Structure 1
Amino acid sequence: MRDLENPTTLPDDEVDISALLQTLWNGKFWIVLAALIGLALGGYYTLRIATPYYTATSVVMLESRQEQVVDIESVVTGLGGDQLTINTEVEVLQSRGLIRKLVDELGLIDDPEFNGYLQEPSRFSIGGVIGLVLGSDDDPEPVSEETILNGVVNNVLGTISVANVRQSYVFQITAVTQSPEKSALIANTLADLYILDQLEAKFQATEQATEWLSGRVSELQAALENAVGAVKDFNAETDLISPETLSLLNRQLKEQRDRLTDIRAAQVAAQGQLTTLNAAISTNDLTEIARIAEDRTFDRLLTAQANGQEGAEAAIATRIDQIRTRISQEEARARQQIATLTTAIAELENQITRQSADLVTLQQLEREAEASRLIYEFFLNRLKETSVQQGIQQADSRVLSRAVIPGGPSAPRHSVFMMISLVMGGLLASAGLIIRELLQNTFRTAEDLESHTGITVMGQIPQIPARHRRGVLDYLSEKPTSAASEAIRNLRTSLLLSNMDQTTQIIMSTSSVPGEGKTTQSIALAQNLSGLGKKVLLVEGDIRRRVFSEYFSIDKDHGLLAVLAGDVTLDEAITHNDQLGADILTGEKSNINATDVFSSQRFKDLLRDMRAQYDYVIIDTPPVLAVPDARVIGQWVDAILYTVKWDETSRQQVSEGLRSLESVNIRVSGLVLGQINLRGMRRYGYGKGYKDYQGYYDN
């Protein structure tokens, strides 16, 4: 099944640029007209309405180099040349504080250009229109002076711009007002105030620094005196030794601690030796005793005993007692020395701790006094330097060139504004044309209709200029060479040649909705076919709305339903119209279900009889979206013409109508774009073909 929702030429997410350009070309008249209107409006505005403005510019340079009269650091350092500093100074020049000084200096609060409360309301302003409509004569509510001043500052800010000349320390101060003298005055005054503001800032900072330093020096002098007094008082109250003596005491303490460690080791060794000796004596192990004692006398006694010398054993026993006594005495002396040294060390540690604390306190007091002295001297020197600076302050900027009174207005620029108005008018018209084209939901060309449906457009029928429906045949008969007549002939040719393999005998004409011109087209096609000498039958397939009576004068009461019911024969029901040159079978209003009628065998038999008697049978059926009659009849015909009204039938209606036929496997033979408004075609830019060929038509 064809995709009837999306065009077959372009994907959804693409735009046909050539089609948009064609749209603009088709609407070139409106674009040119809008551009000329824009040009006229722009010229009228610039010459008659717009207020002229004058621009004046003064130039200020940032001094990155300062004169060094004396080698003293300033309280406020000079400005640097980095980009941050430059940007900051641009903001300073546009600050509200500086602009407020400008307003006060020049009395701009009394200038109606900046003080809106002094201006007479225009009749065309919002306030003037409201007052005119409401007719209010009440006095406005009073406004505070601060509010007025803030409004003036805002307005002055809007007229001033400051720009840094690229890759330089230069600032351009530009003022734009309604007076050339005022513009120059504002630009020059702002430059002077900026430099004066720098000097005032330095004077004020130096004065404040001097005052603060004076108070601080007095405080520091008192603090220094207190610190020196504290050192003296502490020296008088304590008995301090020197740091060198304290170092000797620490060295003595270390020596005594080392000696105590050695004595403790000797005491432990003697005690262990005594314990081992007692154990050897208990076992009478003389060899072990000799090893422990390391006594030569004992060794000789052992030798004597071994040689069997008399009295050696008694001497050995005595010598063992002497050895044990000696070792016990050594262990006792070691313990006595440990106790003595421990007491001495403790006393020496206490002395050192006390002296160290006092010395630390004294040193802290001395450091504090020295720090107080250094701080006092620094601030005292700085106070003297600051006092000297008060007379040698320099601004960080200077005026390079003062603004001159402009010789002519800078705005509006008549030629530029008019050119912009011309372009804007054309652009607005172009945008309108493109938007209208993008929002278009109808069909204006056969190409668009074919692209949307994928079905061939067999005919393009212009509107028939008849005042009423009965005048359609008169017009076609009287104007056989008119554009409408030629369009019907083209439709006939396309229809007959569309299927050379099968005879096109029964033709159904339908549409999406009523009022699309399918009936007029059916009548015109019947007249054209009869003009070929063919026998043609025109059947009114709409048994709900009988519209043939609006085109023809028919006296017979019997019609299609009577034939199907068998009340009359086909020959008895038909009416021949000489102007049409064809027979007519009208419909009949009835409560019978039309779907049942056209699905019946009798209707099929009737179509067979019509084929036998006529060369062509044209059945005018109801719209597809209104009733299902066309979907039923379409199954028995040879060709189907589907009429779409020019620039009126929506794309959705056409898609739904064709889809309803395809749902029952009915193929539309061709589309007809009907009731084309030739003037409208030319207005949209699509009527060039008709214009080129209008010499062939007699309308």
Structure 2
Amino acid sequence: MNYGSQREFERGIQEPAPHEIDLLELFATIWRGKGRVLAAAIVAMIAGAYYAYGVATPTYTARASVALENRQEQMIELESVMSGLSGDQATINTESEILRSRRLAQKLVVQQGLTDDPEFNPFIRPSRTYSISGLKERLLGQVPQTPTEKRVLDVTTNNLMSAISVSNVRSSYVFNIQLVTTDPEKSARLANGLADLYIEDQIVLKNEATERAISWLSQRVATLQSELEIAEQKAQDFAAQTTLVNSETLEALGLQVKNVRARIADVRATRDEGAIRIAEMEAARESGETEVMRLAASDSRFDQLADQRTSKAALLIRFDEVLSAIKADHQRAALQLSSLQSGLARLESNFDEQSTDLVKLEQLQREAGAARSLYEFFLTRMKETAVQTGMQQADSRLLSEAIEPNGPSAPRTSLVLVLSGMLGLMGGVGSVLVREMKQDSFRTAEDLAQTTGASVLGQIPSIPEKARKNVLEFFIRNPTSPAAEAIRNLRTSLMLSDLDNPPKVIMTTSSIPGEGKTTNSLALALNFAGLGKKVLLLEGDIRRRVFAEYFDITNKSGFLGVLSGESEFEDVVTHHEGLGIDVLIGVKSDTNAADLFSSERFAEFLSECRDRYDIVVIDTAPVLVVPDSRIIAHHVDAIVFTVKWDATTKVQVTSALRQFEMVGKPVTGLALSQIDPKGMQRYGYGGRYGAYAAYGSDYDQ
């Protein structure tokens, strides 16, 4: 039999596909779903057109331009209290935020009376029945409350701020003010109003700042004047209290102290010299020697007397006279020194006192001078600032007034349609890809063969008959229909699967019920009979027993009677004249079906059927439901596994096939059943896979 080896099978159904993106397959998937993609794009464009032309309210954008004056020419040559703006990036950002500020927006609301405009004041709009707040009030049974004036002003200001946008022209000091409303005249009026308010606000702020500066300077000047008067009065009072005339008098007094000190030094030297001489003379007198006394006296008269060899008594008298004179001089010097020292003490005391007074007076005079300088500075500043009142210039000027726009700025219908189409295309592509990702069934024979590793023997389209009895009539009535041709292809592939030993006993099964295996069994038996073969159709699914719905067979015990020996084969088999086949149905039994098919009697029964018929087709139960099919598989020559198109999951199919591999009986081939040609075309596979695509949907030709 021509089927993949177990290793190939396990590799096909167990090893996951590598996580790679096949771009060609991705584009092929999108191309197959082009109808859905185009439909999504068309629907999205229709929705966009409905929104642009029927739902959206046209809005108009007006723009005014304001230029920032970073250099200002003063009308007077005085330093301004409110200097011009610097023009750096921080200043530009600040001015941009001021233009968007709530304060200016609120001023514009009051100036333009926007609280009476329904566009900005939602509380005066005609009806709130279908709004969120109105619906909430109705559901909760709340009575609408009249908003306060502050609430109305706040809400109106918020709505106006959302309609304002400010941008700075790159590498310039120009600001563009844009205002979006539903009326072109209103947009231009509000944009110009905001620009005017911005410029006016700058002048007002400067004037207010000037007035505040003048007020503060006036208070400061008055305070400084009072402090100056107090400082000057202190200096005058201190000058009146002291005996100090001026610094020159103090300098003369210092010179006098210096002279007295020099005089004291001279007198002290004289006194000391006298004391030394007195001591020397007294020592000489005690010695009594004439020469010694001559040296000590140093007196010319004494020298004359000594030369004349005057008596010693006369010499002593003269010596005493000299000594007395020296003692008198010494006493006068001592008295003079004492007098000079007393006078010096008085002079020094007077000098120190007047020095301290001079230092304090100079300090008071300096404080008064500093107070005067500060007072004069602030007085000058106050007068300069007062002169500038009413001469302030704005830091900005109106560069371009806003004009009424010629047409609405939104919605941009062409852009809406383009974006809607693009969104529709993306949505369509997304839905196609999501559908493809979620798809876990088989739509093509190629996918089925690639996933399972087994051969696909046939692709059978769905039969346009609902009742089971009509299925037989359909095959008899339409021998050249796509379904009949597909069964012929299945039969041919099955017989060619093993040319040396063509199969005689053929089993059909599936993963779960409802996949079309019974219909395939009937059609396959009919095709073999058309070749002149003697065919037996055996109902191996004795649990459901659906053959009774295809054939009018009554009072028959079925092949279970033959197995039990209660009936002869000829008595229970039924020949169908229209199909040209023998049919052997199954009947209900108390014996477990799996035990029955495992018996030696069943094997002998199939051996007898081989001898009686050219082809035996056994319709068995689904693999994943009961084990009957795996047991019967040991007695057959070929296994046809039916998979329902776009229904049976890959997990179910691979699990069922694995059941056969486990018992050592891999399936001969697969049959993709109940294929919907229209569905294949809808998925984008029409005309690409399988012969049935060429027949279209008309099965009765």
Normalized against structure 2, the TM-score is what? 0.75
Correspondence for 2:48: 42
Correspondence for 1:31: 37
- Measure the CA separation in 1 of the matches of 2:502 and 2:218: 122
- Measure the CA separation in 1 of the matches of 2:361 and 2:166: 63
Correspondence for 1:483: 482
Residues 664, 379 of structure 1: alpha-carbon distance in 2 compared, 3 angstrom cutoff: farther
Deviation (angstroms), 1:89: 1.4
| 8 Å Cα contact 1:38-1:425 kept in structure 2 | yes
Letter in 2 for 1:35: A
Letter in 1 for 2:677: L
- Measure the CA separation in 1 of the matches of 2:22 and 2:204: 68
| 8 Å Cα contact 2:29-2:433 kept in structure 1 | yes
Q: Deviations over 1:282-301 (max 9, x none)?
A: xxxxxxxxxxxxxxxxxxxx
Aligned match for 2:109, one of 103, 112, 123: 103
| 8 Å Cα contact 1:7-1:451 kept in structure 2 | no
Correspondence for 2:658: 659
Correspondence for 1:113: 119
1:615-694 superposed matches below 5 A: 615-689=614-688, 690-694=692-696
Q: Partner of 1:603: helix, strand, or coil?
A: helix
- Measure the CA separation in 1 of the matches of 2:365 and 2:628: 120
| 8 Å Cα contact 1:506-1:611 kept in structure 2 | yes
Are residues 1:551 and 2:550 paired?
A: yes
- Measure the CA separation in 2 of the matches of 1:590 and 1:526: 26
- Measure the CA separation in 2 of the matches of 1:18 and 1:564: 58
Percent of residue pairs bearing the same amino acid type: 52
- Measure the CA separation in 2 of the matches of 1:549 and 1:609: 24
Q: Deviations over 1:550-572 (max 9, x none)?
A: 11122452323223323345454
Residues 663, 695 of structure 1: alpha-carbon distance in 2 compared, 3 angstrom cutoff: closer
Deviation (angstroms), 1:114: 1.1
Deviation (angstroms), 1:231: 7.8
Are residues 1:154 and 2:161 paired?
A: no
Correspondence for 1:607: 606
Deviation (angstroms), 1:540: 1.1
| 8 Å Cα contact 2:678-2:697 kept in structure 1 | no
Are residues 1:143 and 2:147 paired?
A: yes
- Measure the CA separation in 2 of the matches of 1:648 and 1:510: 16
Residues 696, 145 of structure 1: alpha-carbon distance in 2 compared, 3 angstrom cutoff: closer
Q: Partner of 1:625: helix, strand, or coil?
A: coil
Deviation (angstroms), 1:3: 6.0
Deviation (angstroms), 1:221: 4.1
RMSD: 3.6
- Measure the CA separation in 2 of the matches of 1:495 and 1:368: 126
Correspondence for 1:509: 508
Structure 1 stretch displaced more, 144-153 or 363-372:
363-372
1:556-571 superposed matches below 5 A: 557-571=556-570
Are residues 1:84 and 2:83 paired?
A: no
Correspondence for 1:253: none
| 8 Å Cα contact 2:482-2:695 kept in structure 1 | no
Correspondence for 2:215: 211
Structure 1 stretch displaced more, 14-23 or 572-581:
14-23
Residues 375, 639 of structure 1: alpha-carbon distance in 2 compared, 3 angstrom cutoff: farther
Q: Deviations over 1:27-64 (max 9, x none)?
A: 33343344334334433443343322222111111112
| 8 Å Cα contact 1:161-1:175 kept in structure 2 | yes
Deviation (angstroms), 1:385: 3.0
| 8 Å Cα contact 2:457-2:671 kept in structure 1 | yes
- Measure the CA separation in 2 of the matches of 1:694 and 1:36: 27
Correspondence for 1:575: 574
Deviation (angstroms), 1:184: 0.9
Deviation (angstroms), 1:446: 2.1
- Measure the CA separation in 2 of the matches of 1:359 and 1:664: 130
Correspondence for 1:294: none
Residues 80, 607 of structure 1: alpha-carbon distance in 2 compared, 3 angstrom cutoff: farther
- Measure the CA separation in 2 of the matches of 1:370 and 1:154: 58
Are residues 1:11 and 2:18 paired?
A: yes
Correspondence for 1:180: 184
Correspondence for 1:57: 63
| 8 Å Cα contact 2:677-2:696 kept in structure 1 | no
Residues 70, 480 of structure 1: alpha-carbon distance in 2 compared, 3 angstrom cutoff: same
Correspondence for 1:69: 75
Structure 1 stretch displaced more, 689-698 or 582-591:
689-698
- Measure the CA separation in 1 of the matches of 2:127 and 2:515: 58
Deviation (angstroms), 1:75: 2.6
Deviation (angstroms), 1:149: 0.8
| Structure 2 segments unaligned to the other structure (5+ residues) | 1-8, 255-352
Residues 210, 128 of structure 1: alpha-carbon distance in 2 compared, 3 angstrom cutoff: closer
Aligned match for 2:10, one of 2, 9, 16: 2
| 8 Å Cα contact 1:450-1:457 kept in structure 2 | yes
Q: Deviations over 1:66-121 (max 9, x none)?
A: 11333433333322222222122111111110011111111111111111112112
- Measure the CA separation in 2 of the matches of 1:668 and 1:155: 74
Correspondence for 2:172: 168
Q: Partner of 2:153: helix, strand, or coil?
A: helix
Correspondence for 1:464: 463
Deviation (angstroms), 1:162: 1.1
Residues 445, 365 of structure 1: alpha-carbon distance in 2 compared, 3 angstrom cutoff: farther
Are residues 1:413 and 2:419 paired?
A: no
Letter in 1 for 2:448: L
Are residues 1:201 and 2:217 paired?
A: no
Structure 1 stretch displaced more, 185-194 or 356-365:
356-365
- Measure the CA separation in 1 of the matches of 2:617 and 2:357: 133
Deviation (angstroms), 1:479: 0.7
Deviation (angstroms), 1:358: 12
1:326-341 superposed matches below 5 A: none
Residues 584, 187 of structure 1: alpha-carbon distance in 2 compared, 3 angstrom cutoff: same
Residues 544, 393 of structure 1: alpha-carbon distance in 2 compared, 3 angstrom cutoff: same
| 8 Å Cα contact 2:511-2:623 kept in structure 1 | yes
Paired residues, number: 585
Residues 127, 232 of structure 1: alpha-carbon distance in 2 compared, 3 angstrom cutoff: closer
Residues 664, 210 of structure 1: alpha-carbon distance in 2 compared, 3 angstrom cutoff: farther
Letter in 1 for 2:165: S
Letter in 2 for 1:184: A
Residues 380, 564 of structure 1: alpha-carbon distance in 2 compared, 3 angstrom cutoff: farther
| 8 Å Cα contact 2:243-2:354 kept in structure 1 | no
Q: Partner of 2:616: helix, strand, or coil?
A: strand
- Measure the CA separation in 2 of the matches of 1:26 and 1:377: 93
Deviation (angstroms), 1:480: 1.0
- Measure the CA separation in 2 of the matches of 1:76 and 1:113: 39
Deviation (angstroms), 1:370: 7.0
Q: Partner of 1:510: helix, strand, or coil?
A: strand
Residues 62, 615 of structure 1: alpha-carbon distance in 2 compared, 3 angstrom cutoff: same
Correspondence for 2:588: 589
Residues 207, 541 of structure 1: alpha-carbon distance in 2 compared, 3 angstrom cutoff: same
Q: Deviations over 1:112-143 (max 9, x none)?
A: 11111121127765567789x9798x963111
Letter in 1 for 2:182: Q
Q: Deviations over 1:193-240 (max 9, x none)?
A: 000011111111121122122223333444455667778899989999
| 8 Å Cα contact 1:99-1:157 kept in structure 2 | yes
Q: Partner of 1:527: helix, strand, or coil?
A: helix
Deviation (angstroms), 1:377: 4.8
- Measure the CA separation in 2 of the matches of 1:81 and 1:571: 113
Normalized against structure 1, the TM-score is what? 0.75
Q: Partner of 2:468: helix, strand, or coil?
A: coil
| 8 Å Cα contact 1:6-1:452 kept in structure 2 | no
| 8 Å Cα contact 2:224-2:371 kept in structure 1 | yes
Deviation (angstroms), 1:369: 6.8
Deviation (angstroms), 1:498: 2.7
